[in-house]
């Protein structure tokens, strides 16, 4: 049986989604898992908290994979099972639907070109902004080129905000799309009552 098939059967059998299988130098076999995503019903949108992969989840998958790969005689030296992380790759349409409204980093395969540029540099390939559904049913990224405000910096109320810009794209035009790793060290925000 092929490695991909064995890993996929074990991971999905335990109730997780297989995100990625990666082989690295030195015999490292890296498996990335996630919890299955089910779109929340409209009446439950606020009540469901985001669930995350825990160390115990990774340990459970690791034990099962070690046994199955040993039985199959798979060639690897070290097995690493982990979650996708805060800067996870977005690969499939379902990933884009799941993280709609989040900050993302996009890298295009080719520069946007003069025809679509407007006020954007024609050689630009990288963008950071909010992922949104476009009016035509495709995807777009919305961003502002305003410099970020530093902590403690005073911002004049008279200052004009930088205009928002939007660019539509298709999944075929992307080299890579990732969630932007935005970390808040102040702890979790208070839940609205």
Same domain, 64 and 121: no
Report the candidate in 33, 42, 88 with the shortest Cα–Cα distance to residue 64: 33
173's CB contacts (< 8 A; 6+ apart) are: 108, 109, 110
Following DSSP, what letter does each residue of 85-122 receive, concatenated? Answer: -TT-B--SHHHHHHTTTSEEEEEESS--HHHHHTTS-T
Looking at the domain assignment, is residue 42 inside a domain? no
pLDDT tens profile 37-94:
877 766 555 544 567 899 999 999 999 999 999 888 888 899 999 999 888 889 888 8
With beta carbons less than 8 A apart as the criterion, state whether 65 and 31 touch.
Answer: yes
87's CB contacts (< 8 A; 6+ apart) are: 105, 178, 179, 180, 181
What predicted TM-score, i.e. pTM, was given to this entire model? 0.74
Looking at the domain assignment, is residue 10 inside a domain? yes
We report the CATH number of the domain holding residue 63 as: 3.30.300.70
Helical residues (DSSP H) of the chain, grouped into ranges: 3-13, 55-72, 93-98, 113-117
Same domain, 171 and 107: yes
Same domain, 98 and 74: no
Phi-psi group of 61: left, alpha or beta (phi > 0 → left; psi -120 to 50 → alpha; rest → beta): alpha
Same domain, 75 and 126: no
Predicted local confidence at residue 134, as pLDDT: 87
**pLDDT grade for 159, boundaries at 50, 70 and 90:** confident
Same domain, 168 and 136: yes
**pLDDT grade for 136, boundaries at 50, 70 and 90:** confident
Same domain, 166 and 98: yes
With beta carbons less than 8 A apart as the criterion, state whether 109 and 128 touch.
Answer: no
**pLDDT grade for 190, boundaries at 50, 70 and 90:** low
What is the torsional sign of CA 127, 121, 134, 147? positive
Count of the separate structural domains present in the chain: 2
End-to-end CA distance of the chain: 52
With beta carbons less than 8 A apart as the criterion, state whether 134 and 141 touch.
Answer: no
């Amino acid at each position: 049986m092929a490695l991909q098939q064995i890993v996929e059967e074990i991971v999905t059998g335990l109730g997780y989604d297989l995100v990625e299988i990666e082989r690295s130098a030195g015999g490292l076999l890296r498996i990335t898992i996630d919890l299955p995503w089910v779109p929340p019903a409209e009446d439950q949108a606020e009540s469901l908290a985001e669930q995350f992969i825990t160390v115990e989840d990774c340990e459970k998958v690791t034990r099962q994979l070690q046994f199955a790969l040993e039985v199959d005689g798979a060639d690897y030296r070290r097995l690493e099972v982990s979650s996708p992380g805060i800067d996870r790759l977005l690969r499939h349409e379902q990933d884009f639907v799941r993280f709609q409204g989040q900050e993302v980093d996009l890298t295009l395969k080719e520069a946007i070109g003069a025809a679509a540029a407007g006020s954007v540099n024609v050689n630009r390939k990288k963008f950071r902004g909010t992922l949104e559904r476009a009016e035509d049913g495709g995807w777009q990224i919305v961003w502002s080129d305003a410099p970020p405000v530093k902590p403690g910096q005073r911002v004049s109320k008279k200052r004009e905000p930088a205009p928002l810009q939007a660019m539509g794209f298709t999944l075929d035009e992307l080299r890579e799309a990732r969630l932007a790793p935005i970390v808040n060290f102040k702890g979790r925000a208070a839940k609205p009552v």
